[in-house]
Each structure stands twice: as structure tokens, then as C-alpha cells.
Structure 1
Amino acid sequence: MSKSNVKNAYMIMAHNNWKQLKILIRLLDDENNDFYIHIDKSVKIPDIQDIKKQARYSDIIFTNRIRVKWGGYGTINASMILLEEAVKKGYDYYHLMSASDLPLKSNEEINKFLKEHMYDNDSRNRMTNYLSYGLVENEMVRARVSHYNLLVPLFRTTPKFIGLMFKKFNALGYHVQKFLHVDRLKKTEMVLYKGSLWYIITNECAKFFLNNRGGGKKYFGRMTFSGDEYVLQTLLMNSELKYTVFNSNNNGMNGNLYEIDWNNTYGDGSPHLYTIRDKDLLEKSMNLYARKFDIRVDSKIVESIVQKHGGKVDINEKE
């Protein structure tokens, strides 16, 4: 690893809002950073050359595309495609992000933090991994991966009442499978963990994750509900790499260094969408990144973050 700089691969999952994707690239553009972008195959591909023009110092690589549905296996698959492509070049850290995320800190501050906390974990001699995780003890939360969740792709069907109907049927399926003692995890001795999909992991962890993708697909793949929130956490926490997880020590930082608000949600499975009313909270945050933003809903909070980094938002910029 370079003594002075941390080499970062920013792996971005995108499906719309290309203007905001371009802003994200400009904010993180740096000679120590490269971008790997997966665009959902379900959407019309944007102007690739226009997106590539946003980076002056970084390389931008677009990966093979697959269809991604909320809550389904496609999310894990897309993240693996990104990781597999980035590992070919090799980086100190791999940051999995969505195009709805923005950095709260500058490239210099991010670089400084990662260097200062590089060995801030219980392993003593291995680089730190940043992810959120918690032991799964709730039976229904466990059932998201231990049962067959056949109707998850239909949860966001419109109008909303139809999607809600499918959720009710899926819940009914939980009780039926519980009665029949269905347990897709009964043959594994792994302890189940859950956390956020978004992470910052080392080259060592990235290779471990890819090498164990078979087990990840077997237990957290098809017909699970948001298996992407279980797979890395469970695989890592059941290995020696569990000692490399960041010691946040309740210092106001989340394990994956993301500011995410799940207390003020809209009941659709998505976190709170930050607006200008959240400006003070975000400015005081110790975390490196935050999600979720949408410049089409509230451009002022995006402008505020960009201006903090010395930039400017062109509201009339094309998608």
C-alpha cells in the first residue's frame, strides 16, 4: 500500500437520476480513486461518454449489466460484478455505494480517516473493514432468508395497495412455513448477522467475499428477502475476518461510516430522504457518507454539500 495515499475503488449501483450520479463522481474524483459503475439493465442506458467526462483524474469503468429488483438476489449479483471487476486492478479499499449517496467529507478527509484507522480493530495486524452488523435474534427477521420468500419482487407493485396485498400473502407464507418447519439454514452452523448493504472493505476482504460467493448464493440468493443485508455480514462474522471490523467505540460513527436515517421513513423499505432541513445534522455528522438524496426532490441539500466541497450545482444540467 502507498505510504501517503489510500487507493479507493468506488463501486456505484445506479438506475436513474444521472445528474446526481455525475455530481457524485465530481465530488469523489481524485488521482487515488477510480469508479466502477453498474447500471440496472431494466433502465435505458444514459450518455456514457457524458458521464465519463465528469472525472478529470479517475478512471471510470462500466460493468456488465443485469436486472436488479428491490429486495431480490440481483442486488447481491450486481455488487459481486462490481467487486470482481475492481479486484482485477487491486485497491486498498472498495466502497459499495448507490447513486443516491453523497460524501459528507472531502477526499482529503476520507483519505486521512482511512489511514489513521487502518488498523483500528482487534486483529492488530490486518487492515480494518467497515460494515454495519448485528446478530439476528428476531424470528421473522431470520425468516427473510431461512424461508422461501416468493413474492418479494412484487412488493413494490403499483398501485400501492396491490403491493401491500403481496406483502400480506408473503406474511401468510411465513406462518405456513413455520408450521411445516421450513428452514433453509438448518444445514449450516453459521451464526446469522444482518446490516446495511453499503460497505467499505479491504482487498483481503474483497477476495474472501468473492471466494465465498458460492455459499453466499446458496444461503442468501434467490427467494430471500433482502439477502444482500445478510450475506457479507454473516460470511465475515463467521470467519477470522470478524476481528478486522472497525471499532467505532460509540463515537458517533456508524460501522460502515454512513449516515442513514431509518427513524423517519416512508414505510416503503427506503431510508429517510434528506432535505435542506437536515443540513445541520449532516454537517455535524462524523460519518464519511450519507444516503439518501434526490436532487429532483430537494436540490438545496445537494447544493449545500457540493458548495461545502467548493463546487457548484448547475440546476439546468441535462440528465
Structure 2
Amino acid sequence: MKKIYLILAHKSPDQLERQIRALDDEDSTFYVHVDLKSNFNLFTRIYKLKNVTLIKERVDSGWGDFSIIIATINLIENALKNHSEGICILMSGSDYPIKSLPQVNSFLLKNKDKIFIDLDEAGSVWENFNKRITDYRINKGSDKDNFLLLKGFNLKTLFHFLLGNITRRQFLKIAFKKRKLNLNMKFYGGSQWWSMGVSDLIKVNDFIQNNRDELFNFFADSHIPDKFFFHSIIMHLKSLGHKIAIEDSLTYVNWTRENCQLPVTFEANDLQELMDQPPGKLFARKFDIEIERQILDNIDEKILKHKNLEINKIVS
């Protein structure tokens, strides 16, 4: 089964290399977007890996910002230039397989005509979702919490204008222009990570390109749009009569554990939790070798024994 991995990476070239080696087989191709903020020179040895492309169209991808969608679209366009068939799988550089490659191939082959993405009506996923589509997101920097959410002509908007946090043009737009998407789309949302066949991805990408100005003008002002941009487009295409079968995301993420930062960064004592995931969870996130690499060693021992020799060649 031809697999086309689209990877959003921003740090840890050692971990990225290990991830690619763990996923690699004769039917795998990798397209990697390295965040513009990252030192690209640290990733140059990734070039030496077989079937890996570090795309040239890099952007500064801020957390919860539209730039993440731009980076994803850049990956999509690079992949579609070179592939007319196969399964495209969107991942982060902190993901790792939790099933063996034969299991991955078998599952994808049996489900090659499905789109795997977590989605539901956006209002039921997030109680405060309406703010994401009515308020304007204004970035003050690339840091995770360095942004403003503003709406309408009020004291808050005026205060930030007087402080110089927003420009005159931004002030006028926020104060007097109501946000609206003129595509008659309902909003759906969920986890960012998805997988779909090339034929479905072509439909999604064609819709994006045919409605680029309308989509970009709206979603560029939205808060955390990567959680509902592709989801809403997929469901819109389905509502238009496209034959689309949807299943839950292939990526396992733990958002429910208490007394820790979420999502969970998996460590060695989480191995059984990962191994207990159902057949449809092929990957998991997130992992961080700067915190602990033992969990990756444990996964390799459990499911990737035939690749251990190759993976262990990585120079740390």
C-alpha cells in the first residue's frame, strides 16, 4: 500500500529521523515541512534518507494560527504533484507508529477508500467555538499565548489600538467589519490529524484552490483554524453529494489524563496504554526524546523488531 506521509516538524531532527526510519518501507514517501523559525541546517541530514523531501515552501507556523494550514497545504501540493494514487497521512514530528508496518499496511489496504479524521459539529466540540468564527485573531508574536481575540467597536478594541497592539487598519476591520464566510458551509471540527486517499485529497485541494480567496480571507482571522478548516471542507463536499466515508483519526492522543499538561507526552510507563489501542489507531502523539527516549525504544522492541538495527544507526 503506497503511503505518503505529510509531516509538520519544528524541532528535534533526531526524533524526526527516527520517526521516518520507523515508518519507512518500500512503499513509503515522506514530505516534511520544517518550520521557518527552526534552524534548517540541523535537518540537512534528513536529505540523505530515501524517499524524503524537505519542501522549499516554508512558513512560520504559529500555534493556533492560519499559518499551520498554509504549511499543510504546501505539503499537500508537493505530494499531489508527484502522486496519483496512495494514502496521504498528515502527521506531526512528534508522532510515532504504535502498530507494526505489516499491520499498518493491512489496515490501510482494507480501508483505502475512507477518510480518517475526528470531527463533529464544531459547536458540540467546543462550547466557545462561536468566538473562533466571530472574533478576529491578532498575533502579537509566534509564542503560543501571544495573540488577541477582538470583536467590534468597544473599549477593549479601542484600548489595544491606543496601546499600539493593533494597527489602524486592523482596528477599522475589527470595529466595523463583521466576519462572514460566503460559502454556505457548516462548521465541523476535531483533531488536526487526518488521512485520506489521493483521490479524496484532490477533491479537497481543488475546492480549496477554487475558493482560495474566500477561504483564506475568513480562516486567516480565525482562532485555531487547523482544528476545523479541513473538517468543514470535507463535510461540505459530502453535503454536495461526493461519496465520502469517514472514520475516526488513525492517531491516538490522550487529552483526558489528570494532573499533567495535555495532550499527554508519553513516557516509558505508558507503553501498555499505547499497545492496548484498537486496530484503527496506527500512530500516537506526542513523544519528545528531549524528555525521554525510552518509550520509543520500548515501542521498537514491541512492534518494530525487524527495524531495530536500522533505527539504532541514528547518531544522537
Place the TM-score, normalised by the shorter chain, in its bin.
Answer: 0.7 to 0.9
- Secondary structure of 2:65's match? coil
Equivalent residues of 2:134, 2:179 under 8 A apart: yes
Find out whether 1:145 has 2:130 as its counterpart: no
Aligned to 1:83: 76
For residue 52 of structure 1, report the CA deviation from its aligned partner.
3.3
Select the structure that is richer in strand. Answer: 2
Kindly state the Cα deviation for residue 292 of structure 1 after the two structures are TM-superposed. 0.4
TM-score, length basis structure 1 = 0.79
Taking the TM superposition and a 5 Å limit, the aligned residue runs for 1:1-319 are 6-55=1-50, 59-64=51-56, 65-90=58-83, 91-118=85-112, 127-137=113-123, 140-151=128-139, 153=141, 156=144, 163=145, 170=149, 183-185=178-180, 187-213=182-208, 214=212, 215-220=214-219, 222-240=220-238, 243-247=243-247, 255-264=248-257, 271-286=263-278, 287-308=281-302, 309-310=304-305, 311=308, 314=312, 317-318=315-316
Q: Which moved more, 1:226-235 or 1:146-155?
A: 146-155
1:38 aligns to what SS in structure 2?
A: strand
| Structure 2 gap segments, 5+ residues each | 158-174
Structure 2 CA distance, aligned partners of 1:33 and 1:315? Answer: 19
Task: Give distance in 2, aligned partners of 1:50 and 1:243.
Answer: 41
Task: Write the letter of the residue equivalent to 2:94.
Answer: S
**Identity rate, percent:** 24
Name the CA distance, whole Å, in 2 between partners of 1:63 and 1:316: 22
Tell me the CA shift for residue 212 of structure 1: 2.2
> 1:26, CA displacement in angstroms?
0.7
Q: Distance in 2 between matches of 1:314 and 1:101?
A: 18
Q: Deviation of residue 208 (structure 1)?
A: 1.8
Deviation at 1:50, TM superposition (A): 2.2
- Asked if the contact 2:117/2:195 (under 8 Å) is kept, the reply is yes
What displacement does 1:115 show?
1.3
Farther-moved stretch of structure 1 (84-93 vs 133-142): 133-142
Partners of 1:47 and 1:76 in 2: CA distance: 24
1:217 corresponds to which letter in structure 2?
F
Structure 1: which 5+ residue stretches go unaligned?
Answer: 1-5, 119-126, 157-162, 248-254
Q: CA deviation at 1:134?
A: 1.0
Tell me the alpha carbon deviations over residues 102-156 of structure 1, each in whole angstroms, 9 at most, x when there is no partner. Answer: 01112211110011123xxxxxxxx211111010225621321332111475663
Aligned residues: 283
Which letter maps to 2:273?
L
Matched residue SS, 2:7: strand
Q: What is the distance in 2 between the residues matched to 1:186 and 1:244?
A: 23
The 2-side partners of 1:173 and 1:263 are apart by 35
Q: What's the CA shift for 1:238?
A: 1.2
- Moved beyond 6 Å, runs of 4+: 171-177, 265-268
What amino acid is the match of 2:234? L
Structure 1 CA distance for aligned equivalents of residues 34 and 70 of structure 2: 13
Kept after mapping to 2: 8 A contact 1:152/1:225: no
Amino acid in structure 2 at the alignment position of 1:246: I
Deviation at 1:276, TM superposition (A): 1.4
Q: TM-score, normalised by structure 2?
A: 0.80
C-alpha root-mean-square deviation of aligned residues, in Å? Answer: 2.9
Q: Which amino acid aligns with 1:275?
A: E
- Once residues 312 and 153 of structure 2 are traced to their aligned partners in structure 1, the CA distance between those partners, rounded to angstroms, is 49
2: distance between equivalents of 1:265 and 1:139?
20
Structure 2: how far apart are the matches of 1:17 and 1:173?
41
